Homo-oligomer: A and B are copies of this chain.
Amino acid sequence: MNDGFKQLKPYLDKAMAVQAALVLFEWDDATLAPKAAGANTSRVIEILSGEYFQAVTGEETKALVKECLENPEGLKETEMAQVKELEDQIEQLDCIPREEYQAFARLSSESVRLWEKAKEEDDFGGFAQTLQKVVDYQKKFAGYRAKEGQKKYDALLEGYEKGFSMKELDQFFGMLREELVPLLKKVMESKASIQDDFLTGDFPEEKQEELGRFLAEYVGFDFEKGVFSVSAHPFTTNLHNKDVRITTHYSRRVDSSLFSVIHEAGHGIYEMGIRDDLTQTLLGQGTSMGMHESQSRFFENIIGRSKDFWIPIYGKVQEIFPDPFEKISLDTFVRAINKVHPDLIRTEADELTYSLHVLIRYEIEKALIEEDLDVEELPRIWADKYEEYLGIRPKTDKEGVLQDIHWSQGSFGYFPSYALGSAFGAQIYYHMKKILDFEGLLRQGKVEVIREYLRENIHQHGKMKTTRQILKDMTGEDFDPRYYIRYLKEKYTALYQIAD
């Protein structure tokens, strides 16, 4: 082994192990920890975050990274990639004073708990002050990180999807707005009537869980390597490729939990598919948030909302919920789960309005970070934008600005990944249709062939390849958002019988 890398290994190991502990605390906090634990546990998180910071930015670590880069003889490809990833992380962290990094870790852990409480109590006022502190920290950190002439929000975006700055995103979202707003208008004016009232009702949680587990397993989530639980906001996390955890939540809309399970299972399948020699290294994660969301939304929508997907398994839905589904035909069911319904909650949105939800968050994030928008203003601005883009206005904070966990954690710059991911997914879909009998495989219940193709081309590589490299190597093309527009147009003009 390269001598520098050998010396670097204990620091990499420490970073990995402390990171795993932080992930476990985050999971535990969201799913199980007792209410009163909050403040004490946040103190633990503060200290562990400091240890992570130290492992990555310590003088020895930095010197060894330098040495590895200068004397790379004998470094394996994966080792060199680890060194470069570490170099990136040093650049992200070393500019922040350790005390501030730790203090923010503690604050964000407390903030998530306060957000959860505020959401429960529908009380944005009780959370605004904490959120302002989170925003201020993120602005400060973005300022530290920003290269000369770089905007703060661009510095934050880099943490989630490299190569997509505001310039690219303004274009991307501009195209979506231009194409999707008129399409949405046509859909809403169409005479096609789609019944979906049967999706709402008294669906016992244990039955929803049974169906959720079935679907997760059906798409390929391996319960030998995974855990399934409940939390306020569904999420996926992973300790390594043999311990991947997803959550869901239950409501009176049965499709809400079912598609959230397929979505999170998509994230989980990505993490489970990472190569054994990359897991437990800095490369053992999905390559970017956009690519991650491409997989979750691919499973949720492109696979999960297609008629072909349900052909082999609709009987299972009818078996678990004979009332109402025995009386509902497969076609009626599939139309219902694809109905366009401009609605207040992003995670329950149909595919067409979904990007508009993301657009709203993108615009507000930019204002928070770049224009010093005051957090107190959020509920009003949020409502105005929903009225403008979707024609509806939230009556409560719970169905408005408090619905998402992201900002409470300080994740500014994450939301665009959802729209980008959807667009990556569409591009991958049209490519796969060329080389696989995509719909036929779904009809035959052979999801595993599709999943294996994704694993081979995307999942296994972890962070060894960038998003753009993956797209290029797989589809032969650079990222092209027009596939996404095409996908939505084809899908919704057919469903709503709109003349193109």
CB <8 Å contact, A280 and B43: yes
Return chain B residues, CB-CB under 8 Å to A34.
Answer: 223-227, 242-244
| Chain A window 23-53, contacts with chain B (Cβ cutoff 8 Å), 1 for yes, 0 for no | 0110010001111111111011001100100
- Whole-angstrom distance between the Cβ of A277 and the nearest chain B Cβ: 12
Chain B minimum-CB-distance residue to A43: B280
Q: Is A446 interfacial (CB-CB < 8 Å)?
A: no
Return chain B residues, CB-CB under 8 Å to A16.
Answer: 44, 47
CB <8 Å contact, B25 and A44: no
Q: Which of B37, B39, B243 contacts A37 (CB 8 A)?
A: B243
CA distance A13 to B102 in the complex (A): 13
Q: Is A454 interfacial (CB-CB < 8 Å)?
A: no
- Whole-angstrom distance between the Cβ of A47 and the nearest chain B Cβ: 4
Q: Is A291 interfacial (CB-CB < 8 Å)?
A: no
Total number of A residues with any Cβ neighbor in B under 8 Å: 39
Q: Is A113 interfacial (CB-CB < 8 Å)?
A: no
Q: Is A239 interfacial (CB-CB < 8 Å)?
A: yes
CA distance A32 to B227 in the complex (A): 7
**Subset of 19 A-B contacts with CB under 8 Å:** A14-B51, A16-B44, A16-B47, A17-B44, A17-B48, A18-B21, A28-B28, A32-B227, A33-B227, A34-B243, A35-B224, A37-B240, A37-B242, A38-B242, A39-B242, A40-B279, A40-B280, A41-B243, A44-B240
Q: Which A positions have Cβ atoms within 8 angstroms of B?
A: 13-14, 16-18, 20-21, 24-25, 28, 32-41, 43-44, 47-48, 51, 222-227, 239-244, 279-280
* Sample of 15 further A-B pairs with CB below 8 A, known A36-B224, A36-B243, A40-B242: A14-B51, A17-B47, A18-B21, A21-B21, A24-B28, A34-B227, A36-B242, A37-B225, A38-B242, A40-B243, A40-B279, A40-B280, A41-B239, A41-B240, A44-B280
